[in-house]
Amino acid sequence: MNKLRYGFIGAGGIAGTHMQELAKRDDVELVAMADVSEDAMGKIRERYEVQHEFSDYRKMLREVSLDAVSVCTPNRFHMRHTIDALKAGCDVLCEKPIAMNAREGARMVATASELGRKLAIGFQYRYNPRTTFLKRAAEEGQLGRIVYGRVQALRRRGIPNWGVFGHKELQGGGPLIDIGVHALEMAHYVMGSPTPVSAVGDIFSYLGNERSDRVESVWKGWDWKHHTVEDLAVGRIRFEDGAVLTLEAGWAAHIEKNIWTFELMGEEGGATWDPPRIFRDEAGHMVDKSPAWLPDSRSDGMFKRKMFNFVEHCLHDEPLLARGEDGLAVQRMLDAIYRSAERGGKEVKI
């Protein structure tokens, strides 16, 4: 059997999730991992057999022959690590967001294309059964022309207390680039990936840099001293086809409970992701439709589908659902919201 020789740059939390799925396959070999933290590799070692370990990813790329690499490092390093892996002859699955900004993302997409290599982005939500249900309904024309989308990724209090998620210089931003990216990518995908033309946005900071030991939180003890990103971001994006989308993303929103959903309004129907529902006129009545059963997205897995799709794309050229280009399109919208926020909420072109 032709086995995919697999490597990892970054061996932290999400790398472990990649390994958990890849370890289920006979046609994937966990060949090597590289991380600057011995501690991180130690934790992986307890759960998975990875043949080689490196403290320098460049040494790994030089010394081991790999077919595919997952880039699972902080956002600041996505571009460098992806381009180096592509140049070493590997196909790459880079975690979300594609990079710190669209300029970097465009270099990654261009490099993959010039070298004839594959580049995937870690957008597991487009593999979620709710998303595939709504995508299919939209493709069948059940919503008609989609004119408006409302996208929400809001945690009441959920600032990550691991990694470097609050460091703007390492992550590029806060909840907008970290979780807004997920909700936005799935909504944009279901909408048929329209071309964005302009955006307005605002960001607000009021809690993350407070002493985290004095504030109640689901994840206690985040690194408040180095917290330089927003707590809440809101934006509105206009598309070439006239559709408009609003996005809200927050780690510390003063709301009743977390919200993770999007809602679409089309000329012939509407839809919500949570709960998964379609609203239409049928048989002369207003009708609400919901699937009688959907697989559980965690156990049956969006993560599994994301990893398996990448492996099958590498080994058998199966069409890839989350391409570098998709990551870049989403990044352009995120950048525009941040850019508009810097300009006091003025509309900016994309």
Ligand X SMILES: NC(=O)c1ccc[n+]([C@@H]2O[C@H](COP(=O)([O-])OP(=O)(O)OC[C@H]3O[C@@H](n4cnc5c(N)ncnc54)[C@H](O)[C@@H]3O)[C@@H](O)[C@H]2O)c1
In 3-state terms, what secondary structure has residue 264? strand
Q: Using CB under 6 A, list all residues that contact ligand X.
A: 9-15, 34-37, 40, 57, 72-75, 77, 95-96, 122, 124, 162-163, 178
E strands present in the chain: 4-9, 28-34, 52-54, 68-71, 91-94, 119-121, 146-154, 196-204, 232-239, 244-250, 259-266, 269-272, 277-282, 285-289, 348-349
CA neighbor of 16 nearest in space, from 127, 80, 95 = 95
What distance lies between CA 140 and its chain's CA centroid? 26
Euclidean distance between CA atoms 260 and 158, whole angstroms: 13
Question: Cβ 123 to ligand X, closest distance in Å?
Answer: 7
Question: Cβ 332 to ligand X, closest distance in Å?
Answer: 18
Q: Of the two residues 95 and 326, which places its CB atom closer to ligand X in the complex?
A: 95
Q: Of the two residues 185 and 238, which places its CB atom closer to ligand X in the complex?
A: 185
Question: Cβ 192 to ligand X, closest distance in Å?
Answer: 23
Question: Cβ 324 to ligand X, closest distance in Å?
Answer: 15
Question: Cβ 300 to ligand X, closest distance in Å?
Answer: 16
CA neighbor of 311 nearest in space, from 18, 15, 9 = 18
Q: Of the two residues 178 and 248, which places its CB atom closer to ligand X in the complex?
A: 178
Q: Of the two residues 15 and 203, which places its CB atom closer to ligand X in the complex?
A: 15
CA neighbor of 34 nearest in space, from 68, 4, 1, 71 = 71
Euclidean distance between CA atoms 147 and 244, whole angstroms: 6
Report the residue number whose CB is nearest to ligand X: 12
Which tokens belong to 160?
């990550």
Q: Of the two residues 38 and 281, which places its CB atom closer to ligand X in the complex?
A: 38
